């Protein structure tokens, strides 16, 4: 009987280890320095889903970096907020993504709509928002739940 208990405990520890390796906390100091109104663990979830924390990630549509920022969106954010972040730089990319997500959250007053818009763009057709946007929202919510379980004490 004791061997089974030890086996279960070992299995749980291995599972937690693999989850922490799959859902790491990265660039947390940068996130904390730039976020105002959004849970840093949600930003971790966005970075995980968008690029798996790879700064060199480039989407087929041209979105770049950890937060998958389009060059035109980076220019708009910098102009709108009077900032000068470089979307090719890791910290700049994260800062731009956070600023944009906070802007969308304020605009829509709804986290789900803000996240869908972050992924599809604010002017995407409704069918795109309903299909691709909802798939993205599901991924973010799943990652966010895992991040909260692993790191919220």
Q: What is the DSSP letter of 109?
A: S
Tell whether the model's pLDDT for residue 15 goes beyond 70.
yes
CATH number for position 65: 1.10.530.10
Catalytic, 50? Answer yes
Q: b vs e for 124-150, b when ≥16 Cβ sit within 10 Å of the residue's Cβ?
A: eeeeebeeebeebbebbbebbebbeeb
Count structural domains, the chain: 1
Which residue is catalytic, options 50, 56, 91, 109?
A: 50
Whether the CB-CB separation of 143 and 49 falls below 8 Å is answered with yes
Within 10 angstroms of residue 10's Cβ, the number of other Cβ atoms is: 10
- Reading the block at residue 87, the tokens are 């979307």
Domain that holds residue 125: 2-151
Whether the CB-CB separation of 114 and 101 falls below 8 Å is answered with yes
Give the residue-averaged pLDDT of 7-16: 74
Residue 153: predicted pLDDT = 60
What is d(CA 54, CA 58) in angstroms, rounded to the nearest whole number? 9
> pLDDT tens, 118-153?
999 888 888 888 899 999 999 999 999 999 999 986
What is d(CA 30, CA 55) in angstroms, rounded to the nearest whole number? 14
What is d(CA 142, CA 95) in angstroms, rounded to the nearest whole number? 23
Mean pLDDT across the chain:
92
């Amino acid at each position: 009987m004791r061997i089974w208990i030890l086996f279960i405990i070992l299995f749980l520890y291995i599972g937690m280890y693999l989850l922490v390796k799959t859902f790491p906390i990265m660039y947390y100091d940068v996130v904390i320095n730039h976020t105002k109104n959004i849970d840093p663990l949600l930003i971790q979830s966005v970075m995980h889903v968008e690029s798996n924390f790879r700064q060199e990630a480039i989407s087929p549509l041209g979105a770049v970096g950890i937060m998958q920022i389009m060059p035109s969106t980076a220019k708009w954010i910098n102009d709108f907020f009077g900032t000068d972040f470089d979307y090719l730089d890791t910290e700049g990319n994260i800062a731009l993504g956070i600023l944009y997500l906070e802007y969308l959250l304020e605009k829509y007053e709804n986290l789900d709509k803000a996240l869908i818009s972050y992924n599809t763009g604010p002017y995407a057709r409704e069918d795109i928002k309903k299909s691709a946007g909802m798939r993205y929202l599901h991924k973010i919510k799943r990652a966010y739940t895992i991040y909260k379980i692993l790191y919220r004490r």
